[in-house]
Amino acid sequence: MASAPAIKTEKYGEFLVAVTNGNPGLNLPQRMGKALWFPMFLMAIIAFPVALILGIVRASAVSDGDASTAFALAHVTTGVMFIGFMGVFSAIVFAIARILGAFREGGGTVQTAAGRRVLTLVMPNTAKAMVVLMMMGMMMLLAGIVAEFALAAVGSGAITDGDNALLQTTQSWSAWITGLRRFGNTTYLLSIAFGLYTIVNVIRLQSKRIRELGDEPALNAG
């Protein structure tokens, strides 16, 4: 569906809105949300069981006293698990963007069907915060995931070679990366909170608009 360009922005009550003569269509984050929520979901739903299986294999290595394999699998398991978390948190944010897109497109089509001006909320700062925080969370988790795989390779080699100094270095990095991953998770949650907060304000605007739509003169009323 072709999107109508904004004619101007104006204040509508407390809301800053863009005025168009038709459906404004999806903005970039909403288009990304529409395209990416499912691939991210798929990545997550595959990663979680794989990580669980790796954990079970690691339990066997721990029971057998195979320190090198146990060390490597500990980090690989965490890496795969957090591929899942990165996927699922991203999918949630993209799905929220999709909901915001549904409100935007739906509001546009309803106002068009009513023959009135189309007013759409200009992207609020809370929506921008959602996008920025999501990117920050993703970068933190991605760095953590890459580091986990590197630590698996370096640390297991250090155990095999009996290089205690190198092993100590990997353990130190592991502690820091663990903190980074946890912080990344919470950053994602804050992003989700901002996305949902934006939905609340979109619903507030639409409640006002639908109530007052019939009182506004139609565009073709002469």
Partner 1 sequence: MAVQGGTVRPGSVLRPPMAADFLAKATHARIGIVLAAIGIMVAMVSFIGSTVNAANIADDGAGGTTVAAYNAWTFGISTAGLAFAKLGIALILWGIVRRLWIRVESTKVGLAKLVPYVDGKGDPAGLSGTNPYLSVTVTRTAPDAYPIHKMAFKLWSPMLVMGAMLVTAGVVFSLIEAAAGADGNTADFLTYSALAQGTEFFGEALLLAGISLLLGSILGSLRQGGGEVQESLGLAVKTPIMPGTAKLFVALMAIGLMGAMLQFVLYLFVAGEDNPATISAWFAWLGPLREASLGLMLSGIVLALATIGTKVLPFQFLRIQEMIRNGK
Restricting to residues 64-83, name those near partner 1 by CB under 8 A.
70, 74, 77, 81
186 binds partner 1 (CB under 8 A): yes
Q: Which of 24, 25, 29, 84 binds partner 1 (CB under 8 A)?
A: 84
107 binds partner 1 (CB under 8 A): yes
In whole angstroms, how close is the CB of 108 to partner 1 at the nearest point? 9
Q: Which of 16, 32, 36, 48 binds partner 1 (CB under 8 A)?
A: 48
In whole angstroms, how close is the CB of 167 to partner 1 at the nearest point? 8
| Residue 144 and residue 89 in contact, taking contact as beta carbons nearer than 8 Å | no
Taking CA 69 as the corner, what is the angle to CA 64 and CA 70, rounded to the nearest 5 degrees?
70
In whole angstroms, how close is the CB of 103 to partner 1 at the nearest point? 7
Beta bridge partners of 16: 11
In whole angstroms, how close is the CB of 188 to partner 1 at the nearest point? 9
1 binds partner 1 (CB under 8 A): no
Helix, strand, coil percent content, the chain, rounded in steps of 5: 75, 5, 15
Residue 15 Cα distances to 4, 12, 87, 104, 197, angstroms: 20, 5, 33, 14, 15
Q: Whose Cβ is closer to partner 1: residue 157's or residue 178's?
A: 178
C-alpha span between 105 and 35 (Å, rounded): 16
Size of the site for partner 1 (CB under 8 A): 82
51-80 residues labelled b (16+ CB within 10 A) or e (exposed): beebbeebeebeeeebeebbbbbbbbbbbb
Q: Which of 51, 72, 121, 152 binds partner 1 (CB under 8 A)?
A: 51
Tokens 């095999």 found at: 160
150 binds partner 1 (CB under 8 A): no
95 binds partner 1 (CB under 8 A): yes
Taking CA 19 as the corner, what is the angle to CA 17 and CA 23, rounded to the nearest 5 degrees?
110
Q: Whose Cβ is closer to partner 1: residue 44's or residue 145's?
A: 44
